[in-house]
Amino acid sequence: MPNSKLNAGVSAPYAVVTAGSKGIGYGIAEALAERGYNLVLVARHEDILLIAKDNLESAYDVHVEILPNDLSRKDAADEIMNWCINKNMHLKFLCNCAGIGGADDYLSASLDSMRYMVRLNIENFMALTLQLLPLLEQNAPSYVLNVASLAGFAPIPIKNLYAATKSAMIYFSYALSYQLKEKNISVSCLTPGPVYTRLDVIEETEKQLGWMAGKIAIMPGKVGEIAVRKTLEKQMIIVPGIIAGIISMVLRVVPKKILLSTISLIKKNRNSL
């Protein structure tokens, strides 16, 4: 446990972390707990939230609240806001991590599944951020961390809509950062490459990237530590890993038409192997 810790209890600051029960969200929650932040973890499944709560409270001197909620629901942001206000929460950190990926082809996926992705990946974090801004402003200096993806820097065939939702998050974060600067609220956007959150993610990453997978992929705990440290340093775009950082720079400067052709060609070659 670190030596420089904030006091747990009502006087300690709180952080709301969506999808905070596992994966990248849990890695971010753990990095915040190491720094003495009390936590509010939001996710769909109460049983997994309870496990995360027990693990974090056992390891760190913090208090963890859990809020089982499906963030794709229209009323979810209002419910979380009302809960935080009723608790008179000393909220200083909001992490929007909830989202869905997948490799479904946009042209063959169902309309319902596409709408679900848009609701979860875009609507939920925009709504929750707006609803919690008064509390963040009241407790400024404070922080907003949005979790996007390296995919948000490029048009990606097949993962078309996913990449588009993450691109929306990146550019939204840029604009919001400018808008909230005078309110002393810092906005950061995490754009990781592959993160080994599940076995199927590991298998798919190794299938797509081959030997490069081990060079670029990163574990959730490391992502969380980098993300929180850089957010508290008020860095706008956060790309964990040296190779991922180089790739992100290339993706940002190469014309999109060239990127699209290159990515399509790489995918065709891999599928033919």
| pLDDT tens digits along 158-170 | 788 999 999 999 9
- The predicted structure's pLDDT at residue 260: 86
Q: Which residue has the higher pLDDT, 156 or 206?
A: 156
- Computed over every residue of the chain, the mean pLDDT equals 87
Give 3-state DSSP helix, strand, coil % of the chain, rounded to 5: 55, 15, 30
Among the ranges given (116-125, 128-137, 214-223), the one the predictor scored with the smallest mean pLDDT:
214-223
Q: Taking residues 89-111, what's their average pLDDT?
A: 88
CA distance 67 to 179: 29
Quick one: pLDDT band at residue 226, thresholds 50, 70, 90?
Answer: very high
CA distance 203 to 49: 26
R_g of the chain, CA atoms, integer Å: 18
- The predicted structure's pLDDT at residue 3: 33
Using the predicted structure, report yes or no on whether residue 6 has a pLDDT greater than 50.
no
Render pLDDT for 17-57 as a digit per residue (tens, 0 to 9): 999 999 999 999 999 999 999 999 999 999 999 999 999 99
Render pLDDT for 145-155 as a digit per residue (tens, 0 to 9): 999 999 999 98
- Candidates 11, 8, 50; CA nearest to 33 is 8
- The predicted structure's pLDDT at residue 1: 34
pTM value?
0.88
Domains of the chain: 14-272 (3.40.50.720)
Helices marked H in 75-159: 76-86, 111-118, 124-138
Using the predicted structure, report yes or no on whether residue 96 has a pLDDT greater than 90.
yes
- The predicted structure's pLDDT at residue 159: 84
